[in-house]
């Protein structure tokens, strides 16, 4: 995935990824050694297609978390990042009781900006996006109310 991503158009917005087998193995071991990095795999096949990172921002800001993500280019635009990030955000706000999530992306990285906006994050500074726990919970309640009931009719 690292080699494919590095060759993609979006790589220009990120630091270079390792490309040698040894560097990639080291990076994979580093990711696997913590609980901040989550592998995203296809349900049907178990194929690894990306990762989502969520980590606390500093000792004093334990209840603020940073969100990051990267997906294999072949799986862009199919909703996997939206679905995965939404699940992680539900966990962070629900189980970890985070106060907010903050993340950043290069302003010219239009797919990433669109993803963050789709998730309800607001741009608070150039290329910096945030959402509070209250904003997230309100948006999830609104989305749940918009879902049709199980009998096929709307509530």
Range of the domain at 138: 2-146
Residue 109 lies in a domain: yes
Burial of 28 (0-12, 13-18, 19+ CB in 10 A): middle
Name the domain count of the chain. 1
Q: Which residues of 93-122 are buried (b: 16+ CB within 10 A; e: fewer)?
A: beeeebebbbbbbeeebeebbebbeebbbe
How does DSSP classify residue 59?
S
81 and 115 in contact (C-beta within 8 Å)?
A: yes
Tens digits of per-residue pLDDT, 88-140?
999 999 998 899 999 999 899 999 999 999 999 999 999 999 999 999 999 98
Tens digits of per-residue pLDDT, 20-47?
667 666 666 655 555 678 889 999 999 9
* Residue the block writes with tokens 């950043």: 104
Residue 14 lies in a domain: yes
């Amino acid at each position: 995935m690292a080699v494919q991503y590095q060759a993609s158009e979006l790589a220009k917005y990120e630091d270079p990824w390792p490309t040698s087998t040894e560097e990639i193995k080291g990076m994979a071991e580093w990711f696997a050694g913590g609980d901040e990095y989550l592998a995203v795999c296809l349900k049907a096949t178990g194929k690894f297609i990306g990762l989502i990172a969520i980590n606390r921002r500093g000792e004093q800001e334990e209840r603020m978390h940073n969100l990051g993500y990267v997906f294999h280019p072949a799986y862009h635009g199919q909703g996997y990042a939206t679905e995965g990030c939404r699940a992680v955000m539900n966990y962070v706000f629900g189980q970890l009781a985070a106060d907010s999530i903050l993340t950043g992306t290069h302003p010219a990285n239009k797919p990433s900006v669109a993803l963050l906006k789709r998730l309800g994050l607001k741009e608070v500074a150039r290329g910096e996006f945030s959402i509070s726990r209250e904003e997230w919970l309100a948006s999830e309640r609104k989305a749940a109310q918009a879902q049709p009931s199980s009998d096929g009719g709307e509530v």
